[in-house]
Amino acid sequence: MEGITNEACSLAGHWGLGKLIALYDDNHMSCDGGTDLIFTESVEKRFEALGWHVVFVRDGNTGFDEIRAAIQEAKAVKDKPTLIKVRTTTGYGAPNKANTTSVHGKVLGSAEVEATRKNLGWDYEPFQYPEDVKQHWSRHISKGASLEAEWNIKFAEYEKKYEDEATEFKSIITGELPPYWEKSLPTFPPESPAMATRNTSQQCLNALAKVLPGLIGGSADLSSSNMSLPETFSNFQKTTPQGRNICFGVREHAMAAICNGIAFHSPGLIPYCATYLAFIDYMRGAMRTSAMSKAGVIYVMTHDSIAVGEDGPTHQPIEHLSSFRSMPNILTIRPADGTETAGAYKLAILNRRRPTILALSRQSVPQIKGTSVEGVERGGYIVSDNSEGNKPEVILIGTGSELRIAVKAADDLRKIGKMERVVSLVCWEVFEEQSEEYKESVLPVAVSARVSVEAGVTFGWERYVGVKGKAIGIDRFGASAPAVRLYEEFGVTVKAVIEAAMAIC
């Protein structure tokens, strides 16, 4: 019933995934009663429409030969995935509770367990298994060992003949990154031209695509907006499975779930996927799975603020950064320029056991003096400071495309003699993990005059600006207008930062 299954199964049919066999337990029961209450579509016809081969097993309770035959049939179909619809009775064998909703979500209870044992003629103790069952299944141990030995010999031969390919293959299996991979990341000196971080992101992807054989990903039908298609990649399709660009279509939820699957398949596969940041909500369920299951998926989320302009509030992220900073075990990185984008990719690639969100701008941003890859690796750091002894009069904190606002405000305040520090808080989660000494060196407890600026909700910023400080942001939904006008209307400006700083120091 869940929509994500239709998204994923539509793609499986499109790609003709002939190795995929899904057994569908058709027991006609749901939590609230029989499925006739809520689910009367023809599953067979829907899957045929999606390009699947469909087999029906009439007796999934005891029809073992029928199930075996269905699997054989499915294996023989090489150009389509197969759905085996297996008609079963939920709680089969339980004399009083079989085929009831109570079996679906509740325990049988000791009386019904006893009655079921009796009914099925099962005389063994709990957790005891019969010797013949053990023997039957143990046959796989020796069979598996000999298959593995065969494979090892074959691979040793392959390695002799194709040294480079074998090294690449092993790196994908082990997850060990090639040496000096991070040297490939582009650099963006302060004098280089202004550029959107979605474009600096593209340069990073182009570079990494060449050195990381396990990098694979794509976009939910926005690759030319997300700038997420590396120049060396071709499309992954039925007839071109070697392609590393996956066209997901407008299916965000399945996209994230598929990336989880790729991450779990092998530690050296590094999946990324892309859409607009405002659409991230559509895949949040699968992203929670990334975080909980430690899948190092990289989420390339562009158009990360009201600066998308005329498309209006539906397309303008407001609460999204905050909503993911709330989630455990996921990094939310919002780079301010090219250098920080390179740093963000370095962090993301190194974090193979937790997912990363890259929040990237649609609009051009200048390369800022003082940003650094090393700074990004610490989550937050000092971009500029004209004070001494770790005692600035005010600390201005920015992220992403608003860091330049903090920088400009500091420049102006310094002209009138103020001692200002600018901090880039590019990744809160990583900053929190730094030593107390380091955090104190960036945000000294004694300096309570702090102003933050970010084009999103101020929720959560109290952690860094404290009771006396001021968070400049947008605590309502956006609007449709040119980006410059919106920043003015919502008060996310150099002037607002200067006024807030003057008011508290």
Catalytic residues: 252
Q: How far is the CB of 380 from a copy of itself (least distance, A)?
A: 16
Which of 66/319 has CB closer to a copy of itself? 319
Which of 48/59 has CB closer to a copy of itself? 48
Which of 185/427 has CB closer to a copy of itself? 427
Give me the phi and psi of 289, to 5 degrees please. -65, -40
Q: How far is the CB of 41 from a copy of itself (least distance, A)?
A: 5
- Do the Cβ atoms of 58 and 112 come closer than 8 Å? no
Q: How far is the CB of 319 from a copy of itself (least distance, A)?
A: 4
Tokens 């075990």 belong to: 329
Q: How far is the CB of 378 from a copy of itself (least distance, A)?
A: 20
Q: How far is the CB of 448 from a copy of itself (least distance, A)?
A: 8
d(CA 318, CA 187): 30
Burial class of residue 181, CB neighbours in 10 A (0-12, 13-18, 19+): middle
Burial class of residue 152, CB neighbours in 10 A (0-12, 13-18, 19+): exposed
Give the CA dihedral 361, 364, 368, 372, nearest 10 degrees. 40
Residue 453 makes CB contacts below 8 A (sequence gap 6+) with 396, 397, 398, 402, 405, 406, 409, 472, 473, 492, 496, 497
Which of 208/222 has CB closer to a copy of itself? 222
Residues 213, 219, 224: CA angle, nearest 5 degrees: 105
Residues 194, 200, 206: CA angle, nearest 5 degrees: 145
Which of 21/50 has CB closer to a copy of itself? 50
Which of 2/131 has CB closer to a copy of itself? 2
Residues 77, 81, 83: CA angle, nearest 5 degrees: 100
Q: How far is the CB of 95 from a copy of itself (least distance, A)?
A: 23
Which of 169/459 has CB closer to a copy of itself? 459
32: three-class secondary structure by DSSP: coil
Question: Looking at this protein, which amino acid is placed at residue 477?
Answer: F
Which of 251/421 has CB closer to a copy of itself? 251
CA 166 to chain centre: 29
d(CA 24, CA 397): 53
DSSP string, 110-155: HHHHHHHHHHHT--SPTT---HHHHHHHHHHHHHHHHHHHHHHHHH
Q: How far is the CB of 431 from a copy of itself (least distance, A)?
A: 14
Tokens 């029961």 belong to: 29
Sign of the dihedral through C-alpha 84, 87, 90, 91? negative
What is the SS3 string spanning 94-115? CCCCCCCHHHHHCCCCHHHHHH
Residue 393 makes CB contacts below 8 A (sequence gap 6+) with 387, 418, 419, 420, 447, 449, 505
